[in-house]
Amino acid sequence: MPTGDLAYSRLVASERVFYPVRDEIQCPPLNAPANGMKFGGNEYLETVTFACTTGYEIVGTSTLVCQADQTWSDTVPTCVRSQCPILQAPANGDVTGSNEYGSTATFNCEVGYRLEGSATRTCMASKTWSGIETSCVLKTCPPLHAPDHGSVSGGNSYGDVVTYSCETGYDMLGTPSRTCQDSQQWSGNQPYCLKVHCNTLNPPTAGSILGGNEYGESVQFSCWLGHTLTGNRNRTCQEDGLWSGQQPSCVGKTKKTTSLLD
């Protein structure tokens, strides 16, 4: 058996091979992987432990041992960027961005929808997303009120159209319909319901007229003394803005004549 510092041996191909004593067995120095670090020595039976910086995780064996044949027990691991679960786009919306550590996902909603939750979410070192779940909610406009002497019907969600109508005897001033827009405001302006007015009637020649000209009101005609009314004595203002009946006239009475016999 050899003497000196060749104290360690093992059988190789049926022959005993002597190795240097432990203090002299060294493995090649190892470099830390990109985005990682290492701890430990490179002498026989010493270990090197690898770790990754925040946001990265090891792929491979994290601890290597220096062997008697001056080789390491495994290859150096790598550090890969951590990944968060893939985010799904909300209904009626989309999401853009990577799911790797430090990346930001951005959410958007389609026209007519508003975003609830986090507009952006960041992949954290814990492999979870910052913020809260995102959804796209159909936009709504403020409820509308019916005009005096009128009504309004329809929904108040984006794209809905409301329709106004007036009671009998009232005319609408303004637009009869309005649409809920993406801005969550209504198109146009609130219409008004105004009472129907008929045109002002003139009294007949040799006559007079009394009454109003709003819907439902009536006027009454009369003739001066010595005249007879021909036609409608009363006329009523109708919902279409027209008067019932026809304009009357006042006809002078014919004086009776007598003849004297001689």
Residue 78 has pLDDT above 70, yes or no: yes
Q: Are 22 and 5 in contact (CB under 8 A)?
A: no
**Mean pLDDT (whole number) for 65-91:** 97
Domain with residues 150-195, CATH architecture: Ribbon (2.10)
Lowest-confidence region among 21-25, 82-86, 104-108, 207-211: 21-25
Query: What was the pLDDT predicted at 253?
Result: 83
- The model's pTM is 0.68
Q: What CATH number labels 18-81? A: 2.10.70.10
Residue 256 has pLDDT above 90, yes or no: no
**Mean pLDDT (whole number) for 97-123:** 98
Residue 10 has pLDDT above 60, yes or no: no
Helix, strand or coil, per DSSP, at residue 48: strand
Torsion (CA) 228, 232, 234, 237 in degrees, nearest 10: -140
**Mean pLDDT (whole number) for 18-35:** 81
Cα(202)–Cα(197) distance, integer angstroms: 15
Query: What was the pLDDT predicted at 24?
Result: 78
**Mean pLDDT (whole number) for 74-88:** 97
For the chain, helix (H) and strand (E) counts, in that order, are 0, 22
- Hey, what amino acid is at 49? T
Query: What was the pLDDT predicted at 126?
Result: 94
pLDDT tens-digit series, residues 172-224: 999 999 999 999 999 999 999 999 999 999 999 999 999 999 999 999 999 99
Q: Which CATH class is domain 207-252?
A: mainly beta
pLDDT tens-digit series, residues 29-51: 999 999 999 999 999 999 999 99
CATH topology classification for 93-138: Complement Module; domain 1 (2.10.70)
Query: What was the pLDDT predicted at 245?
Result: 96
Between the alpha carbon of residue 12 and those of residues 8, 9, 71, 93, 251, the distances in Å are 13, 9, 16, 68, 148
Residue 168 has pLDDT above 70, yes or no: yes
Check for a shared fold between 93-138 and 207-252.
yes
Helix, strand or coil, per DSSP, at residue 191: coil
Provide the pLDDT confidence category of residue 242 given band limits of 50, 70 and 90: very high
Query: What was the pLDDT predicted at 15?
Result: 65
Question: What value does the mean pLDDT of the chain take?
Answer: 91
Residue 260 has pLDDT above 60, yes or no: no
Domain boundaries, the chain: 18-81, 93-138, 150-195, 207-252
Q: What percent of the chain has pLDDT over 90?
A: 87
